[in-house]
C-alpha cells in the first residue's frame, strides 16, 4: 500500500512540473563571484513542483547536455509560489547552497564562470532528461547554436549577457504590466540589465522585489461602464437641446 502511495505521489509531481511551459520562468540576476542567480516566477507553482538547472552545454545534435558541469534540482518544500515572486539561489558551489524558497541540490562540478557560461532552467523526469525548457541565460551568446531544439528564443525566453559578465541584474520595470507574461520580453532584454565585468560581487544581493500586475476591468464590466457613460452623454445632450429650445422660444416671444 505504501509503495502505491509513493508511486502516486511521484506521478503527481511529474504531471504538475511537466505542465510548465517555456517562459514560465525568467532569469533576473547572474553572479559569477558568489556563484548564484535569481529567477522570476511568471506562473503559480504548486508545492510539489520540481525544476532543474544545468550549467552544462546543450548539444542540439545529440539532444542532450554534455560535460561535467553541475546540474541542480530545485524542489518546493510544501509551499506554493505565486506568480511575480523572485527566487534567489546563492552559494550554489558550496555545501551551504541555499534557495530563498524551496530546496536546492547539486550534482557535478558547480562553478559559474565569468565567460563562456550558459545556464538552463527546465523540467523533465530527471536532470539528465529535459522535457521542456523554461528559460536560459548565457555569457557566451549560446555559442554553437545551443538554443536549437530547446524552443527558447533570444529576447523572449532566453537572455544573452555581455561576454565577461561578472555580475548582472535586471533593473527594468516591476510594476504596471497587465499580465505577468508581459514582463517576459523586458526581463530577457539585455538593455534592461545592469552589468559589471570587473570587481568583487561575492556579497552582492540581487533585487528580490516581487513583480506586480495592474488590474484591468472584466470585459463585461468594461462594456457596462462604456454603456453607462454613453447614456450619461445622451442625457446631457438632450438636456442641452432642451435648454437651447427653451431659450429660442423665449427670444421669439
Asked if 77 and 132 sit in the same domain, the reply is yes
**pLDDT of residue 94 exceeding 80:** yes
Asked if 26 and 135 sit in the same domain, the reply is yes
Residue 85 lies in a domain: yes
Asked if 171 and 124 sit in the same domain, the reply is yes
Range of the domain at 224: 217-253
Residue 22 lies in a domain: yes
User: For residue 95, what pLDDT is reported?
Assistant: 86
H or E segment to which residue 244 belongs: helix 219-252
CA distance 211 to 67: 35
Specify the pTM. 0.79
Asked if 164 and 231 sit in the same domain, the reply is no
CA distance 52 to 182: 24
Asked if 233 and 169 sit in the same domain, the reply is no
- Listed range (70-79, 194-203, 228-237) with the worst mean pLDDT: 228-237
Asked if 182 and 80 sit in the same domain, the reply is yes
What pLDDT, in 10s, does the model give residues 70-85?
999 999 978 899 999 9
Residue 212 lies in a domain: no
CA distance 42 to 210: 11
What pLDDT, in 10s, does the model give residues 22-42?
999 999 999 999 999 999 999
Count of domains observed in the chain: 2
User: For residue 9, what pLDDT is reported?
Assistant: 37
Asked if 118 and 180 sit in the same domain, the reply is yes
φ, ψ of residue 203 to 5 degrees: the values are -110, 10
Residue 240 lies in a domain: yes
Beta-carbon contacts of residue 123 (< 8 Å; ≥ 6 apart) = 17, 18, 20, 50, 51, 52, 130, 131, 132, 134
Residue 227 lies in a domain: yes
Amino acid at each position: 500500500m505504501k509503495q502505491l502511495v509513493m508511486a502516486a505521489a511521484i506521478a503527481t509531481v511529474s504531471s504538475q512540473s511537466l505542465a510548465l511551459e517555456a517562459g514560465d520562468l525568467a532569469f533576473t540576476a547572474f553572479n559569477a563571484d558568489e556563484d548564484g542567480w535569481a529567477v522570476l516566477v511568471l506562473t503559480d507553482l504548486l508545492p510539489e513542483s520540481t525544476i532543474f538547472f544545468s550549467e552544462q552545454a546543450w548539444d542540439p545534435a545529440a539532444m542532450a547536455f554534455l560535460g561535467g558541469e553541475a546540474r541542480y534540482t530545485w524542489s518546493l518544500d510544501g509551499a506554493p509560489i505565486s506568480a511575480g515572486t523572485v527566487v534567489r539561489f546563492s552559494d550554489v558551489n558550496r555545501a551551504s547552497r541555499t534557495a530563498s524558497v524551496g530546496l536546492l541540490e547539486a550534482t557535478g562540478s558547480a562553478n559559474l564562470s565569468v565567460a563562456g557560461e550558459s545556464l538552463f532552467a527546465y523540467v523533465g523526469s530527471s536532470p539528465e532528461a529535459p522535457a521542456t525548457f523554461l528559460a536560459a541565460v548565457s555569457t557566451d551568446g549560446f555559442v554553437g547554436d545551443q538554443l536549437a531544439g530547446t524552443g527558447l528564443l533570444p529576447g523572449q525566453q532566453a537572455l544573452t549577457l555581455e561576454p565577461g559578465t561578472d555580475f548582472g541584474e535586471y533593473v527594468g520595470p516591476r510594476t504596471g504590466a497587465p499580465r505577468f507574461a508581459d514582463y517576459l520580453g523586458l526581463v530577457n532584454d539585455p538593455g534592461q540589465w545592469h552589468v559589471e565585468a570587473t570587481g568583487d560581487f561575492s556579497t552582492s544581493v540581487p533585487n528580490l522585489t516581487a513583480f506586480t500586475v495592474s488590474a484591468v476591468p472584466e470585459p463585461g464590466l468594461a462594456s457596462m461602464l462604456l454603456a453607462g457613460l454613453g447614456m450619461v452623454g445622451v442625457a446631457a445632450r438632450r438636456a442641452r437641446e432642451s435648454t437651447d429650445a427653451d431659450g429660442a422660444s423665449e427670444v421669439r416671444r
